[in-house]
Amino acid sequence: MKRILIVTGQSGSGKSSALEILEDLGYYCIDNLPVALLPEIVLKLDKENNLELLALGVDVRSTNEDLQEFDHVFELLRQYGQVDVIYLTTKDQELIARFSAARRPHPLANRFKSLNECIQEEKNLLLPVHIRATITIDTTDFSVHDLKHTLWNRLGQADQLIVILQSFGYKHGIPLDADYVFDVRHLPNPHWDIELRKYSGLDGPVQKFLGSNQQTNEMFQDIYNFLEKWLPAFEEGHRHYITISIGCTGGQHRSVFIVDRLQKALQKNWSIQVLHREMKHWS
């Protein structure tokens, strides 16, 4: 066995869709497995089928005792190959909307009166698995196509650290899948210049405005120095990807400018992916 994926996350976040996508990518997929049985199943599959790619779906229907022992199970699985945990998460209000639209009960509905209680308890129960996640994906605004694209990108270069640079706007919420978040709202805001408002941080007029500001340059340099120092350590620690999120108020000017500049500075030595989350809101 060369690669094992454990796919889990909040109910309604897209675990079943993720497994279908992984099957299309060549993974042998099995869903709804008790955590305690994972090593035994993997051993059997490895001996009888000599599989290269295996994806195992795990959810909150495993017993609480099994979920608490996930660390031990994870270490046992590592003897069969590279193990990654994909954790899918979604904002609470979106989960509530999805369950209402689907008219399906939450797996914990028989234990709690409200859907919100189910969602909060599920987070607690899955925490031992979430802590081990090597890939966390926020599917709040995702279509199935978006999920497929994200999984393909993050799994396509397993032996190389992928640095995901993401701009976002605080008024639309902090990304749930960020490893590091840098706040650049204190920098000069092109939004208040009528001539600059229509542009983004990718456009020349905004880049000239921000690039001529000393505080902006110092902020960029500090973030760049941090990444240059620590990215090699993350790679040595067998991280497959890391998400660096840069936020300003609306996610159109300052954060986009810093992400674009970081991409240009880092791409000589690192595999970079860029996501401007609020592009759909740009004027």
Tokens linked to 21: 């996508």
237 annotated to bind ligand: no
61 annotated to bind ligand: yes
Closest CA to 125 of 203, 64, 81: 64
59 annotated to bind ligand: yes
Would you place residue 77 in the very low, low, confident or very high pLDDT band (cuts 50, 70, 90)?
very high
- Per-residue pLDDT, 48: 67
78 annotated to bind ligand: no
Are 106 and 201 part of one and the same domain? no
263 annotated to bind ligand: no
Average pLDDT on 136-151 reads 89
Look at 16-25, 147-156, 198-207, 266-275 and tell me which has the smallest mean pLDDT: 147-156
Are 92 and 191 part of one and the same domain? no
Are 93 and 116 part of one and the same domain? yes
- Per-residue pLDDT, 49: 66
Are 187 and 265 part of one and the same domain? yes
Residue finishing a domain among 133, 155, 177: 155
Cα 4 to Cα 6: distance, rounded to the nearest angstrom? 7
Give the dihedral sign, CA 266/268/269/271: positive
Cα 62 to Cα 85: distance, rounded to the nearest angstrom? 16
Tokens linked to 233: 């350590």
Would you place residue 225 in the very low, low, confident or very high pLDDT band (cuts 50, 70, 90)?
very high
Which residues, other chains included, contact 118 with Cβ-Cβ below 8 Å and sequence gap of 6+? 11, 106, 107, 108, 109, 111, 112
Residue 58 in 3-state DSSP? coil
100 annotated to bind ligand: no
- Per-residue pLDDT, 47: 74
Closest CA to 166 of 241, 269, 95: 241
156 annotated to bind ligand: no
Burial class (CB in 10 A: 0-12, 13-18, 19+), 264: exposed
Average pLDDT on 93-122 reads 90
Are 15 and 149 part of one and the same domain? yes
Whether this prediction's pTM lies above 0.75 is answered by no
